[in-house]
Amino acid sequence: MDLSIIIINYKTKSVTADCLRSIRRSTDKLTKEVIVVDNGSGDGSIEYLKTKFPWAKVYDAGSNLGFAGGNNFGFKKSTGKYIWLLNSDTLLQKETISVLMKKAMKNNSAIASCRLLNQDGSIQPQGGYLPDLWRLAGWMLFIDDLPIISWFFPAYHVNRKRYFRKNQHPGWLAGTALLIRRDVYQKLKGLDDNIFMYGEDVEFCLRAKSLGWAPDYFAEAHLTHLGQASGSSRGAILGEYKGLKYIYQKHFPVWQGWVLKLTLMTGAILRRIIFRNEIYAEAFKLA
């Protein structure tokens, strides 16, 4: 089996259905399987998806395992040489799979992803450089958004759309459409399911780097990412704060964790003032 596509469904059966239809239209010639893991939706998703898409393998996780736990569950059911963690709110072009897999296999990529597009066709930034205290300070203090400086600053979140117009070797890539070689996933024992959602992709790439594996970003392949079909902006903001705290507790010295805390608190205060968003009051307490 060349490829196993793993999709997590959580109360998004109609969105997941659109994703599956786009996969079905793919013109690739690969041997592949599509695995849908339902994270305890309880809304009839399993029956609906099994009826509408009998060619997909639909599994009931039994409860909401989160993004990492759900994908790890799906991996155990998979057989592909490559595993593609694909968000349910994505829509593929007919050539997306064939172009991405051709590039990944040619380069023997350990981890790879493709260009993400918004619904209007514009580039949707993803990923960036692995976190360190300088990069996180640059992010929290908006330094990486400043004109000219942003061209040279190795940002934790790269937001320059120009960056994503050509192939790159970033430190991490988003879990939105993350292609991973099977042996790499096995060696790293999958995503860290202590992270429920947001940050598990960063943590995975951090561990991969320690073993000499780096991600490949291929601009030639692309897909549309609708965004936050089973989440929210609040969940994303707070989830990222939680994820970073966990990553620093797991991988970095204690003193860096305290600097991170101060950095995140400062960033929350600035964003609360600038954006007038109460979510950042919660983020401040969470930091």
**Which residues are within 8 A (CB) of 242 and not within 5 positions of it... i.e. 6 or more apart?**
195, 196, 198, 199, 286
Closest CA to 244 of 225, 259, 233, 229: 259
Task: Decide: 135 and 156 in contact? Cβ < 8 Å.
Answer: yes
- For residue 34, give Cα distances in angstroms to 85, 88, 189, 196: 10, 12, 21, 23
DSSP 3-state assignment of 193?
coil
pLDDT of residue 42: 95
Is residue 193 exposed (0-12), middle (13-18) or buried (19+ Cβ within 10 Å)?
middle
68-116 pLDDT tens trace: 999 999 999 999 999 999 999 999 999 999 999 999 999 999 999 999 9
Structural domains in the chain plus CATH codes: 3-125+160-230 (3.90.550.10), 133-155+232-287 (no CATH)
pLDDT of residue 230: 47
Residue 91 is classified by DSSP as E
138-188 pLDDT tens trace: 999 999 999 888 888 999 999 999 999 999 999 999 999 999 999 999 999
Q: Quick check: 196 pLDDT over 50?
A: yes
Q: Please state, in angstroms and rounded to a whole number, the distance separating the CA atoms of residues 44 and 49.
A: 9
Residue 119 is classified by DSSP as T
Q: Sheet of 111-117: strands edge to edge? A: 57-60, 32-38, 3-9, 82-86, 177-181, 111-117, 215-225, 90-92
Q: Can you tell me the mean pLDDT for 34-61?
A: 98
Q: Quick check: 229 pLDDT over 80?
A: no
State what percent of residues in the chain have pLDDT above 70: 98
pLDDT of residue 150: 84
44 is written with which tokens?
């009839």
275 pLDDT band, cuts 50/70/90, is very high
**Which residues are within 8 A (CB) of 225 and not within 5 positions of it... i.e. 6 or more apart?**
87, 89, 90, 116, 117, 118, 124, 176, 177
State what percent of residues in the chain have pLDDT above 90: 94
Q: Can you tell me the mean pLDDT for 110-125?
A: 97
DSSP 8-41: EESS-HHHHHHHHHHHHT------EEEEEEE-S-
pLDDT of residue 72: 98
Q: Please state, in angstroms and rounded to a whole number, the distance separating the CA atoms of residues 6 and 153.
A: 34
Q: Can you tell me the mean pLDDT for 220-233?
A: 79
**pTM for the full predicted model:** 0.95
